[in-house]
Amino acid sequence: MKLGFKYIDGGICAAQGYKASGTYCGIKRPANDTPDTKHKNDICLFTSDVPANTAAVYTQNKVKGAPLIVTKANLEKSGGKAIAVIANSKNANTCNADGIEKAQKMCDLVADELGIPSEQVIVASTGVIGQVLPIEPIEAAVPVLAKGLCYNKNLEAATAIMTTDTVKKEFAVEFKIGGTTCKIGGMAKGSGMIHPNMATTLNFITSDCAISAEMLQKALSEIVQITYNCLSVDGDTSTNDMVVLMANGLALNEEINSEGEDYEIFKSALCEVMANLTKMLAKDGEGATKLIVSSCRTAPDVKTATTVAKSVVCSNLLKCAIFGEDANWGRILCAIGYADADFDINGVGVDIASAKGSVAVCRNGAGVPFSEEKAAEILSEDEIFVNIELNCGDVSAKAWGCDLTYDYVKINGDYRS
């Protein structure tokens, strides 16, 4: 229980009326066509029992995966209503001449199988870019997925969207709107090519709250700015980033259709889910051994606070230092200094903290003596906090990142094979 939210299990199936299923259909691993001997789920389907108001945000990369283009067109056609989501890993279906056709086909297959309009199907793909997506395994999988749909198979879906993720990422909360119990749950996949620009990675969030399409989109767009958009693993903005938020109204609360107390509660609950998924994404960044949370406080405005906090978690040099547990705070100052924001560097203070305590390393833009021993103890933890004071305002923001390790290089030196 935190701030009136109860943390619950169930991921995308936590809210009422959502079924999910996942399976292994055998989409070939790219380049060398080595069979995936682990037979991890590579495709999933989930549905709402009734058409759900659906909001979405997409990558700002000019290269957009075909599934994003088809999803966007579908939501426009359906007036922001969706019933089903199909998502696969191993192949991003991006930069392929037949990408749109294949993504459309995935929607058609689901629509035919479930007897619903194709434009109420959302499609997402993640994996290698520029390899033709084989449709045959998907054709074979869709009936299996449809038959397997169940109110508690969220885990089958959460594992199906994993690429180099080492753990599945799910989070859900329960809360009250005007005395009625509502739920929001979600799942996400990371874990490289993460540097959000309006959206990140694949994220699916479901709710049973009754909320208008307009307010749903507004809440999503706002919360994305302070959660996924403050996350960086490696500075590379993916081509297939998408966050989809569905709300089917089955909680039967009075519909939220304007700003006010109910909207604020919904937004806080959504933020709780999205911030926790963001943290999980950062912590499971490719090759990561440590989560880095950068907080920028006493900033003049939210843009400055966000820009500074993000600049710090994006610094390769700092990421390496944190990996090496080296209190090289000069690199923090350096990253604060090249952030594209306006403030007086001579007012800046920095502390480094973890569960083991906190140490002041910089005041008024200059170093202060500190115990290297204490700093080493703090940095031995796996969640490291960089706390920055700009001392020129009262606004705060956070950003999430991870360390840069040998394994990041290893994973990405040989991703396709």
Q: Are the CB atoms for 211 and 53 separated by under 8 Å?
A: yes
Distances from the Cα of 41 to the Cαs of 24, 88, 118, 379, 408, in angstroms?
Answer: 4, 9, 24, 36, 23
302 scored as a contact of a copy of itself (CB under 8 A): no
Rule CB under 8 A: choose which of 79, 178, 260, 367 binds a copy of itself: 367
Among 255, 301, 326, 383, binds a copy of itself (CB under 8 A): 326
Query: Between 140 and 169, how does the x/- string for binding to a copy of itself read (CB under 8 A)?
Result: ------------------------------
Give Cα separations from 335 to 13, 186, 385, 388 (angstroms). 41, 33, 15, 12
Distance, in Å, from the CA atom of 132 to the CA atom of 126, rounded to the nearest integer, reads 13
Classified as helix, coil or strand, 101 is helix
Backbone φ/ψ region at 172: left (φ over 0), alpha (ψ -120 to 50), beta: beta
Q: What one-letter code names the amino acid at 227?
A: T
Does position 405 interact with a copy of itself (CB under 8 A)? The reply is yes
Q: Which is nearer to a copy of itself, 28 or 183 (CB)?
A: 28
| Strands annotated E in 356-409 | 357-363, 366-367, 383-389, 395-402
Q: Rule CB under 8 A: which of 217-236 touch a copy of itself?
A: 234-236
Q: Do strands 349-354 and 383-389 pair parallel, antiparallel, or not at all (unpaired)? A: antiparallel
Please report, in angstroms and rounded to a whole number, the separation of the first and last CA atoms in the chain.
44
- String marking each residue 36-75 x if it binds a copy of itself according to CB under 8 A: ------------------------xxxxx-----------
Q: Which is nearer to a copy of itself, 96 or 298 (CB)?
A: 96
Q: Is 200 a catalytic residue?
A: yes
To a copy of itself, the closest distance from the beta carbon of 236 in angstroms equals 5
- Parallel/antiparallel/unpaired status of strands 291-299 and 349-354: unpaired
For residue 183 the two structure tokens come to 């739920």
User: What binding mask, one character per residue, do residues 86-105 give for a copy of itself by CB under 8 A, x or -?
Assistant: ------x-xxxx-x------
| Smallest distance from a copy of itself to CB 331, Å | 7
Shortest distance (Å) from residue 126 CB to a copy of itself: 12
Smaller CB separation from a copy of itself, 24 or 415: 415
Question: Which two tokens mark 330?
Answer: 């000069």
- Residue 409 C-beta: closest distance to a copy of itself, Å: 5
Residue 358 forms beta bridges with which residues? 353
Q: How many CB atoms lie within 10 A of CB 135?
A: 16
Q: Which of 197, 225, 257, 268 binds a copy of itself (CB under 8 A)?
A: 197
Task: Give the number of residues written for the chain.
Answer: 417
Q: Which is nearer to a copy of itself, 50 or 345 (CB)?
A: 345
Q: Retrieve residue 358's tokens.
A: 């906190």
Q: How many residues make contact with a copy of itself (CB under 8 A)?
A: 67
Residues 17-36 binding a copy of itself (CB under 8 A) are 31
DSSP label of 166: S
Task: Specify the stretch interacting with a copy of itself by CB under 8 A; choose among 115-123, 156-164, 187-195, 393-401.
Answer: 187-195
Task: Tell me 185's DSSP state.
Answer: E
Q: Indicate which single residue of 284, 331, 379, 384 sits in contact with a copy of itself (rule: CB under 8 A).
A: 331
Which one of 23, 47, 200, 307 is the catalytic residue? 200
Residue 45's alpha-carbon distances to 104, 117, 359, 413, in angstroms, are: 15, 16, 48, 31
**Residue numbers of the site for a copy of itself (CB under 8 A)?**
31, 60-64, 92, 94-97, 99, 128-132, 192-193, 195, 197, 234-239, 314-317, 320-321, 323-324, 326, 328-331, 333-339, 343, 345, 362, 365-367, 372, 404-406, 408-417
Residues marked active site are found at 200
